[in-house]
Amino acid sequence: MTVRECLLFAARLKLPNSINIRERIESILEDLKLVKAAETMIGGPLVKGVSGGERKRTSIGVELITDPNLIFLDEPTTGLDSFTATSVIEVLWDLAAKGRTVISTIHQPNSETFDMFDKMMLMAQGKIIYFNKADKSENYFQSIGFSVPEFSNPADYYMKIMSIESFEVEESNEKG
């Protein structure tokens, strides 16, 4: 099955007959930068197919077929190299810029990806430790004694301090 056929299959399952399916598919292919891969096989273990990034974007396209205003994504960059992960996030950023709300879980994004975040929620031990604009996070953490080291990726630093804090909380709970 090709990328286009995959989207066509999803459209036939999810859309009413009143929707122009071909137009919707072409729009999604364009939005997700899949036009060149449209006639490429998805592939699998025995058949060479699209790249990992194209596969992720095709999966996103299947969900976009109904033109939702709100998109939830769980780890859309998992298993992708840094360049491909950034390109997937760029596509999601473009979708958000067109008026969609995009909510995603991402563990340890690279610096370039981190800089594309609008709002960010950080959680540790099931509790929210930060929820605000991503570009305000460094000032916030500095104000509570956790300065991001110069030339460091803030996301990596936050993951590190959340792990340390989580470990210390867990350790104190075991003692108490």
Gyration radius (Cα) of the chain, Å: 20
Q: Per-residue pLDDT tens for 22-35? A: 999 999 999 888 99
Give the pLDDT score at 106. 86
**What are the angstrom distances between the C-alpha of 8 and each of 19, 28, 66, 170?**
12, 11, 12, 49
Residue 66 to residue 21: CA distance in whole angstroms: 10
Q: What is the mean pLDDT of residues 114-130?
A: 88
3-state DSSP assignment of residue 74: strand
| 153-176 pLDDT per residue, tens | 898 899 888 886 545 544 555 555
Per-residue pLDDT, averaged over 95-116, amounts to: 86
Q: What's residue 165's pLDDT? A: 53
Q: Please tell me the predicted confidence (pLDDT) of residue 83.
A: 81
Nearest to 108 by CA among 143, 56, 152: 152
CA atoms of 15 and 56, how far apart (whole Å): 21
Burial class (CB in 10 A: 0-12, 13-18, 19+), 149: exposed
CA–CA separation, 119 and 70 (whole Å): 15
Q: Enter the tokens of residue 49.
A: 């197919």
> What's the average model confidence in pLDDT over 9-14?
94
pLDDT for 174: 53
At a CB cut-off of 8 Å and minimum separation 6, what does 86 contact?
110, 112, 113
CA 25, CA 31: separation in Å to the nearest integer? 10
**pLDDT of 135:** 92
Q: Sketch the domain layout of the chain as residue ranges.
A: 117-176
Helix/strand/coil for 45: coil
Stated pTM of the model: 0.72
Give 38-88 pLDDT, tens digit per residue.
999 998 888 889 888 888 889 989 998 998 999 999 988 888 888 888 888
Lowest mean pLDDT among 25-29, 124-128, 130-134: 124-128
